[in-house]
Amino acid sequence: MADPQPETVDRVSGVRFPMECPQCGARSGMPYRATTMIKNGAICVELRCNDCHHNWEFEMPVTDDLTFAPKRDRRKQAGDSTHEG
């Protein structure tokens, strides 16, 4: 049996990973791909069991709480001593 995965919780949907495998019942299903579904905008997550290597899909619910953290400003700050030119 593989080492247990640390449990993580998706902040937006509240879904917990690893998930229970529908084939062997082990709680070792981790996501390896996520895509947006065109028909309803939901997120389709593809999971793989660490124990039996079974693959399955899980549709995450659509939420209005999806927010993105602002990107860090990578421009040089005023007063930098680097030479411009």
Closest CA to 53 of 15, 21, 11: 21
Phi, psi at 18, each rounded to 5°: -75, 155
Confidence grade of residue 17 (pLDDT, cut at 50, 70, 90)? confident
Report field, pTM of the whole predicted structure over 0.75:
no
Q: What is the pLDDT of residues 23-77, one digit of tens each?
A: 999 999 999 998 988 877 788 999 999 999 999 998 887 766 555 667 788 887 6
Q: What is the domain partition of the chain in residue ranges? A: 8-60
Nearest Cα residue to 22 out of 45, 55, 59, 44: 55
Q: In the chain, count of helices (H) and strands (E)?
A: 0, 6
Phi first, then psi: what are they for 58, rounded to 5°?
-135, 130
